[in-house]
């Protein structure tokens, strides 16, 4: 098979915002406890945070981290999580049928973010709480001193304000599973009121309204229209959430999941721009794709789910998906889709970061290791700089049960005028054939290949597990050649590749 693409720095889509490489830490399963925080672990620092995990998070290259949920936030009382640890209440976490000890809260998590070098993106509870609690948390977080709440923060050990810029107005309020689930009309009204009030405290914050929990929700589209009609002038972003999994052994459709993500983004952009037109607004609403990943949800629903009036475990093993090579190829393709929409998707969070549907796994008192999905994230985060480019792509197609005819090869490029770095990210979705790709780089002038790395394996279901932590990794793609204005490279079946040129 063959494919051809043309790269031209004149065809910029939009700047690559560092916030595209965000992630998500929820109080869920072993993400926080026995994930980032395990005081008795041999690598843990004085604050109880695992340094092996900190090193991996840094290597992953994560910008903004969304916290503390997720579904968890809809039952969360933020004030439980501050003040002397010994006095913090133990609470039922209804979202995940667990016990929340509140041992790690806002101060501890913010301290951990300083260690990994990431920015905090905070979610407020609009499920079982409302405007006043959001205002209190904002005052506690962002006002320097001189009020009861800001002085309480100082007394709790944080002299400077946290200065949180990004705030999510609730989580997945369209989902019937959400504590305090609302109609679009109800949610739009409370989100608008809360946003206006929060801006009276701090006009500099950036606000995200809940969009749909997936493009396949029955209310999708209409939810965005109604919510944006209420909130348009009050917010900056509308969220998108999407999870993909291989269903019924249909690998071909699964490998084309980015087609769905492309369509999802295009539909939300169209809806936001429709509301803009109706309202006669001059403002443009962008997307915060603040939950995306591969997630085997069926396994959670049927195997993991906890029930029982007397059964509320602390940090149970939940949503601990083990990712294959095929999962990582889809995952890398989702990153390609996000980059392709860099003009309108200006924030995104990989859900999640450690143990829970995560690129990093840990064992208590044991090792931390990289899942297959770690590699496309880390490399894209490192190489995608400057602006995203529209690439002119010619590829054969294959037929899928879910998405119809789909291109075998998908790709996006980025270009940084200052450093001269150009990067190309590609997938081959074909299950049996390699593809020879020719990249026309005429518009770039002379180029040399700095690196070309591929993720693939003869066994597309190979994984990195506790007993074999380095089974899958990136390897140099030695097929890459430069001849005049053409860079050629061979992509193995079911593979993800990054090429950087200078
Ligand atoms: O990321 C796991 C869960 O997925 C989040 O808590 C929720 O927002 C979504 O349904």
pLDDT at 195: 98
Q: Are residues 30 and 113 in the same domain?
A: yes
The answer on 337 and 474 residing in a single domain is: no
**Nearest 5°: CA angle at 283, between 280 and 284?**
110
- pLDDT per residue rounded down to tens, the chain (502 residues): 999 999 999 999 999 999 999 999 999 999 999 999 999 999 999 999 999 999 999 999 999 999 999 999 999 999 999 999 999 999 999 999 999 999 999 999 999 999 999 999 999 999 999 999 999 999 999 999 999 999 999 999 999 999 999 999 999 999 999 999 999 999 999 999 999 999 999 999 999 999 999 999 999 999 999 999 999 999 999 999 999 999 999 999 999 999 999 999 999 999 999 999 999 999 999 999 999 999 999 888 888 899 999 999 999 999 999 999 999 999 999 999 999 999 999 999 999 999 999 999 999 999 999 999 999 999 999 999 999 999 989 999 999 999 999 999 999 999 999 999 999 999 999 999 999 999 999 999 999 999 999 999 999 999 999 999 999 999 999 999 999 999 999 999 999 999 999 9
In Å, how far from its chain's centre is CA 28? 16
| CA 86 – CA 224 distance, rounded (Å) | 43
Residues 420, 331 share a domain: no
- List 38, 139, 246, 291, catalytic entry: 291
Q: Is residue 319 part of a domain?
A: yes
Looking at residue 303, its pLDDT comes to 80
pLDDT of residue 189: 98
Question: Looking at the structure, do residues 405 and 335 belong to the same domain, yes or no?
Answer: no
Q: Is 405 strand, coil or helix?
A: strand
Å from CA of 70 to ligand 1 middle: 5
Q: Whose CA is nearest to atom 3 of ligand 1?
A: 70
Indicate whether residue 352 lines ligand 1 (CB < 6 A): yes
State which H helix or E strand residue 435 sits in. strand 435-440
Number of compact structural domains in the chain = 2
Out of 211, 240, 351, 352, mutate this one to test ligand 1's pocket (max ligand atoms within 8 Å of CB): namely 351
- Ramachandran angles phi, psi of 375, nearest 5°: -70, -50
Give the integer Cα–Cα distance in Å for 244 and 34.
Answer: 26
Q: Is residue 5 part of a domain?
A: no
Phi, psi of 130 (to 5 degrees): -155, -150
355 Cβ below 6 A of ligand 1: no
290 lines ligand 1 (CB under 6 A): no
Same domain, yes or no: 369 and 464: no
Q: How far apart are CA 189 and CA 199, in angstroms?
A: 16
Contact predicate 198/207, CB 8 Å: yes
Whether residues 329 and 462 fall in one domain = no
In a domain? residue 100: yes
Q: How far apart are CA 312 and CA 321, in angstroms?
A: 21
CA of 350 to the centre of ligand 1 (A): 11
Among the options 26, 172, 224, 246, which is catalytic? 172
Quote the CA–CA distance of 205 and 196 in Å, as a whole number: 11
Can you give the pLDDT at residue 300?
Answer: 81
Q: CATH number of the domain that 480 lies in? A: 2.60.40.1180
Tell me: do 406 and 353 sit in the same domain. Answer: no
User: Can you give the residue range of the structural domain that contains 445?
Assistant: 389-501
Tell me: do 107 and 213 sit in the same domain: yes
Considering the domain architecture, whether residues 338 and 436 belong to the same structural domain is answered as no
ipTM confidence score: 0.99
Burial bucket for residue 83 (CB in 10 Å: 0-12, 13-18, 19+) = middle
Nearest CA to ligand 1 atom 7: 70
Number of H helices, E strands in the chain: 11, 26
Cα separation, 118 vs 349, whole angstroms = 12
CA distance 256 to 333: 8
Distance (Å, whole) CA 53 – CA 65: 15
Residue 76's CATH number: 3.20.20.80
Domain termination residue (choose one: 347, 365, 383)? 383
In a domain, 481, yes or no: yes
Whether the CB-CB separation of 356 and 28 falls below 8 Å is answered with yes
Please tell me whether residues 405 and 460 are part of one structural domain: yes
Instruction: Please check whether residue 6 lies inside any domain of the structure.
Output: no
Judge whether 4 lies within some domain: no
Domain boundary among 383, 404, 433: 383
- 301 catalytic residue (yes or no): no
Identify whether 417 is a catalytic site residue.
Answer: no
Residues 107 and 22 placed together within one structural domain of the fold = yes
Q: Is residue 9 part of a domain?
A: no
- 10 Å CB burial of residue 449 (0-12, 13-18, 19+) is middle
Q: Residue 496 Cα, ligand 1 centroid: separation in angstroms?
A: 26
| First-residue to last-residue Cα distance in the chain | 27
Q: Which of 324, 354, 383 is the last residue of a domain?
A: 383
How far does the centroid of ligand 1 lie from the alpha carbon of residue 214, in Å? 11
Contact 415, 387 (CB under 8 A): yes
**8 Å CB contact between 73 and 128:** no
H runs (alpha helix) in 440-491: none
In this structure, the answer to whether residues 240 and 331 fall within a common structural domain is: yes
Q: What residues contact residue 484 under an 8 Å CB cut-off, 6+ apart? A: none
Please indicate, yes or no, if residue 7 is contained in any of the structural domains: no
Pocket test residue of 172, 181, 299 for ligand 1, highest count of atoms within 8 A of CB: 172
At residue 457, the pLDDT reads 98
319 Cα nearest atom in ligand 1? 2
Choice from 23, 24, 26, 95 to test ligand 1 binding pocket (greatest atom count within 8 A of CB): 26
CA distance 327 to 459: 12
Instruction: Give the three-class secondary structure for 51.
Output: helix
- Whether 23 lines ligand 1, by a CB cut-off of 6 Å, is no
Under a CB-based contact definition with an 8 Å cutoff, are residues 426 and 496 in contact?
yes
pLDDT of residue 302: 80
């Amino acid at each position: 098979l063959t494919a051809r693409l043309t790269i031209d720095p004149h065809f910029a889509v939009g700047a690559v915002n560092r916030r595209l490489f965000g992630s998500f830490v929820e109080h869920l399963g072993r993400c926080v406890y026995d994930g980032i925080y395990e005081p008795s672990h041999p690598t843990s620092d004085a604050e109880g945070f695992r340094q092996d995990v900190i090193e991996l998070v840094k290597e992953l290259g994560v910008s903004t981290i969304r916290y503390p949920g997720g579904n968890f936030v809809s039952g969360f009382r933020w004030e439980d999580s501050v003040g002397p640890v010994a006095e913090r209440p133990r609470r039922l976490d209804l979202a995940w049928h667990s016990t929340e000890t509140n041992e790690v809260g806002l101060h501890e998590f913010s301290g951990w973010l300083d260690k990994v070098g990431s920015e905090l993106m905070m979610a407020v509870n609009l499920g079982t709480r409302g405007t006043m609690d959001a205002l209190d948390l904002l005052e506690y977080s962002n006002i320097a001193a001189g009020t009861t709440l800001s002085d309480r923060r100082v007394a709790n050990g944080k002299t400077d304000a946290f200065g949180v810029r990004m705030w999510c107005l609730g989580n997945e309020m369209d989902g019937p599973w959400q504590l305090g689930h609302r109609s679009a009309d109800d949610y739009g009204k409370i989100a608008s009121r809360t946003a206006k009030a929060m801006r009276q405290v701090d006009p500099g914050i950036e606000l995200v309204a809940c969009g749909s929990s997936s493009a396949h929700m029955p209310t999708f589209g209409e939810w965005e229209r109604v919510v944006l009609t209420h909130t348009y002038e009050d917010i900056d972003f509308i969220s998108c959430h999407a999870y993909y999994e291989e269903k019924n052994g249909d690998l071909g459709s699964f490998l084309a999941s980015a087609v769905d993500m492309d369509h999802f983004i295009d539909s939300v952009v169209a809806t936001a721009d429709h509301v803009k037109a109706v309202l006669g607004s001059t403002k443009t609403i962008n997307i915060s794709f603040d939950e995306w990943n591969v997630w085997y949800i069926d396994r959670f629903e049927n195997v993991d789910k906890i029930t029982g009036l007397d059964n509320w475990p602390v940090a149970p093993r939940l949503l601990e998906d083990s990712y294959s090579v095929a999962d990582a190829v889809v995952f890398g393709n989702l990153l390609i889709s996000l980059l392709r929409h860099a003009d309108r998707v200006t924030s995104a969070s990989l859900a999640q970061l450690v143990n829970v549907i995560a690129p990093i796994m840990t064992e208590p008192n044991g090792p931390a290791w990289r899942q297959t999905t770690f590699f496309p994230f880390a490399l894209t985060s490192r190489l995608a700089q400057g602006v995203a480019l529209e690439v002119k792509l010619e590829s054969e197609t294959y037929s899928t049960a879910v998405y119809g005819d789909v291109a075998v090869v998908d790709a996006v490029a980025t270009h940084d005028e200052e450093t001269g770095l150009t990067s190309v990210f590609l997938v081959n979705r074909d299950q049996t054939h390699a593809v020879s790709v020719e990249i026309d780089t005429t518009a770039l002038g002379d180029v040399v290949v700095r690196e070309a790395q591929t993720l693939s394996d003869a066994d597309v279901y190979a994984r990195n597990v506790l007993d074999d932590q380095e089974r899958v990794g990136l390897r140099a793609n030695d097929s890459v050649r430069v001849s005049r204005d053409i860079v050629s490279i061979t992509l193995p079946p079911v593979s993800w590749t990054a090429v950087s040129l200078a």
